[in-house]
Copies of this chain bind each other. A is one copy, B any other.
Amino acid sequence: MSFTLEKTDQNSAARAGVLTTHHGQVQTPIFMPVGTRASVKAVEQRELEEFGAQIILGNTYHLYLKPGNSIMQQAGGLHKFMSWNKPILTDSGGYQVFSLSDLRDISEEGVLFKSHIDGSKHLFTPENVIETQRIIGSDIMMVLDECPAHDAELSYLKNSSDLTLRWAERCLTHRQKLEPLYGHSQKLFAITQGGINPELRAQSTKSLTSMNFDGYAIGGLAVGEPIEDMYRMLDVSHPLLPETKPRYLMGVGTPHNILNAIERGIDMFDCVIPTREGRNGRVYTRKGTMNLKSAKYATDFRSIDEGFETYVCSTFSRAYIRHLLVVGEIFGLQLCSIHNISFFLWLTKTARKMILTGEFHSWKSEFLAEFEAGED
């Protein structure tokens, strides 16, 4: 994998680049749909391709529990298992262990946790999450990290950040011992921590960039802290990150968050918002969001976002989708999820185009003004 920087915005740290993997190129900035358990919820793989998805996410924690490493390896890895031939990024499972599991016990060795499915006990170590991701066969693997709560004490934050550093180093060392399983290369991204403390964040970033990772994720943000603190941490981070490597802001976010982070030098994003909110009937448009379950759309025969020329908008009305949602038809969830995924993919694709033409700054202001003035 290589990363080529094509252009940096003259008014901001926004950048356009190309990430090359064994399964194809990814044009950044990019939104990565989340396929937690080998499926982007209610969206078909061929539809992801249709709407321009270039890379999707898989969750190591979920895939490790089900179908489990044995089935995954017999399948020949996640690409074959789910019939997705474009790039895949997997997280390390760290975040899910800290947010989903009933019990966790962190030690130098790793993290012991109870499965949220059946209560069974499992140990994630820096080494075995690399092994699991090797079995998944993702194009981009993530290191194991600890993701502390946003209001953690400074002393906890410091110890945690140091532990994440040591774990990152162990991941790197362990990866070098192993050949990829399926004949394609797998790259490894580090994850910076440090909460919203500028010194710790800078220290974590500097330490990790001194090691030779293939890319850098910014972790431990979008976990409940004030949004201005998140942007402040991006302002601290991007000048310290190498220009020639991709940067990934984990778990972010809304169109606002994404554009403000692109402006702060971020290349890659993932978030469950498009599918999770889609399943609740909330859809994204260039004029804000709308809750399609609302009675006011019962006889609104316009498309979700008039003039937005994708499958859902050029085919179905708000009234029809509202009807499906109200009576509980699965197709309603599908249409809202498909629409939102295509909207988020359009957003990063357009941001990229605007960076390349030098219009990012003005377009972002116009887009956000219209988005904020929106309907709901």
Contacts of A156 in B (CB 8 A): none
Contacts of A319 in B (CB 8 A): 67, 71, 74-75, 81
Q: Are the CB atoms of A42 and B75 closer together than 8 Å?
A: no
**Is A357 positioned at the interface, with any CB of B under 8 Å from its CB?**
no
Tell me the smallest distance from the CB of A208 to a CB of chain B, in Å. 33
The residue in chain B whose Cβ has the minimal distance to the Cβ of A275 is B330
The residue in chain B whose Cβ has the minimal distance to the Cβ of A81 is B320
Selected from B81, B299, B333, the residue in CB contact (under 8 A) with A71 is: B299
The residue in chain B whose Cβ has the minimal distance to the Cβ of A70 is B299
Tell me the smallest distance from the CB of A120 to a CB of chain B, in Å. 16
The residue in chain B whose Cβ has the minimal distance to the Cβ of A329 is B39
Tell me the smallest distance from the CB of A279 to a CB of chain B, in Å. 8
Contacts of A75 in B (CB 8 A): 299, 301, 317, 319-320
Interface of chain A, main secondary structure: helix
**Is A92 positioned at the interface, with any CB of B under 8 Å from its CB?**
no
Contacts of A329 in B (CB 8 A): 37-39, 41
**Is A28 positioned at the interface, with any CB of B under 8 Å from its CB?**
no
User: Given the known A-B contacts A74-B299, A301-B74, A327-B66, are A83 and B333 also in contact in the complex, defined by CB atoms under 8 Å?
Assistant: no
Residue picked from A39, A62, A332, most chain B C-beta under 10 Å: A39
Whole-angstrom distance between the alpha carbons of A51 and B71 in the complex? 31
Whole-angstrom distance between the alpha carbons of A330 and B41 in the complex? 6
Whole-angstrom distance between the alpha carbons of A71 and B299 in the complex? 6
Tell me the smallest distance from the CB of A34 to a CB of chain B, in Å. 13
Q: Are the CB atoms of A323 and B41 closer together than 8 Å?
A: no
Whole-angstrom distance between the alpha carbons of A317 and B76 in the complex? 12
Q: Are the CB atoms of B83 and A320 closer together than 8 Å?
A: yes
Whole-angstrom distance between the alpha carbons of A299 and B299 in the complex? 48
Contacts of A74 in B (CB 8 A): 299, 301, 319
Within 8 A of B (CB), among A79-98: 81-83
**Is A324 positioned at the interface, with any CB of B under 8 Å from its CB?**
yes
Selected from B62, B315, B323, the residue in CB contact (under 8 A) with A38 is: B323
**Is A308 positioned at the interface, with any CB of B under 8 Å from its CB?**
no
**Is A326 positioned at the interface, with any CB of B under 8 Å from its CB?**
yes
- A binding-site residues for B, Cβ under 8 Å: 37-39, 41-46, 62, 66-67, 70-71, 74-75, 81-83, 298-299, 301, 315-317, 319-320, 323-324, 326-327, 329-334
- 24 A-B contact pairs sorted by A residue (CB < 8 Å): A37-B323, A37-B327, A38-B320, A38-B329, A39-B324, A39-B330, A41-B329, A41-B330, A42-B330, A42-B334, A44-B331, A44-B334, A45-B315, A46-B315, A67-B298, A67-B323, A71-B299, A71-B319, A71-B323, A74-B301, A75-B299, A82-B320, A83-B315, A83-B316
